[in-house]
Amino acid sequence: MPFSDSQIDMKKLEVNDYSFLSPLFNRPAIKSQPADRCIFCGTNRYSESRARLGDEHVIAFSLGGNQVIPRASCHRCEQATGRLEQHVTRNLLMVTRTVAALPTRNPKNRPKTLPVSIQRHGIRSLVNINPSDHPFFVALPVFRRVGLLASTPPETSFPGTSRAFIMRGKDAFFKQDGDSFSFTIHPGAISRLVAKIAHAYVWAKRGFDNIYPLLIPLILGSVEHSTYFVGCETEEFPFTPENLHTLSTYEITIGGCEYICARVQLFSYFGMPVYDVVVGILAKDLPSAPKAP
Ligand SMILES: [Zn+2]
């Protein structure tokens, strides 16, 4: 389901200097307890030829995430989650990352120009412009309520709206009223990424003892009904001047079943949507980790 410009709730701020963003994106790493098994599939080796598991960022380094779970992902799962993170960060948040000069492991790969769809004098055209001329913006989808919490069946479409925060910048190309630019939001990829972040965050905070994890097939891409587990339970999207992103966990009982949930607000600094995610079922008599396949 595409999002149209008219559905976007925009917040705007006139700024000429993005340097205040850099400290937000470059915070020192915070390490949790090592997992010593893959937090997605449960294996205790990285691959056949390597024992040491890879470190897992709760939120990708490329999005300014600084919380790390040491020894927490195998090669196969790392590739699956890495593809998802690359898709989101390279394709969907490229403008956000490039204009704000977010950390990248490959600075040489930073794009020299950014394609942008501009409507000017009533005519829409695609042009390539210098990143320094591009307005900084963050745009993320607003979802409906979590299917499991609202007792609605699993589905794969994403009816909804989105929210964007835009700082026009010194060389903004909005020359006259009516000028605009448009961008694409991929709600399916964003919701899977949010599921991965929620799963990893619960691991980092409390481990998975007595939790039956619900999100692993979704994170690894074998199912697509993310609206059943990821949604927006609130319409209040606060701005958090102290945090770039804001994460928390909570427990909820529905129909006699206890669930562990995470609340994920990516780019909360800019008042982006708050996502609620059902991460797992709480139960005393469950095995402590997902079994290796
Ligand atoms: Zn794995």
pLDDT single digits (tens) 113-131? 877 777 777 777 787 877 7
Find the 65 Cα to ligand 1 centroid distance in Å. 21
Residue whose entry in the numeric block shows the structure tokens 């589905």 = 155
The predicted model gives 59-72 an average pLDDT of 92
Nearest to 24 by CA among 269, 292, 282, 265: 269
What tokens does 276 get? 């609620």
Find the 20 Cα to ligand 1 centroid distance in Å. 37
Find the 39 Cα to ligand 1 centroid distance in Å. 7
Q: For the chain, which residues make up each domain, given as ranges? A: 5-282
Find the 82 Cα to ligand 1 centroid distance in Å. 12
The sheet that has 54-57: what strands, in order across it? 30-31, 67-73, 54-57
Find the 56 Cα to ligand 1 centroid distance in Å. 11
> Which pLDDT value is given to residue 35?
96
Distances (CA, A) of 238 to 86, 182, 231: 27, 24, 16
Find the 174 Cα to ligand 1 centroid distance in Å. 47
> Which pLDDT value is given to residue 171?
47
Query: What is d(CA 44, CA 153) in angstroms, rounded to the nearest whole number?
Result: 35
> Which pLDDT value is given to residue 284?
73
Query: What is d(CA 98, CA 103) in angstroms, rounded to the nearest whole number?
Result: 9
Find the 46 Cα to ligand 1 centroid distance in Å. 8
**162 pLDDT higher than 90:** no
> Which pLDDT value is given to residue 7?
45
Provide the sign of the torsion angle of the four alpha carbons 142, 100, 83, 195, taken in this order: negative
Burial of 85 (0-12, 13-18, 19+ CB in 10 A): buried
Contact 249, 206 (CB under 8 A): yes
Find the 53 Cα to ligand 1 centroid distance in Å. 9
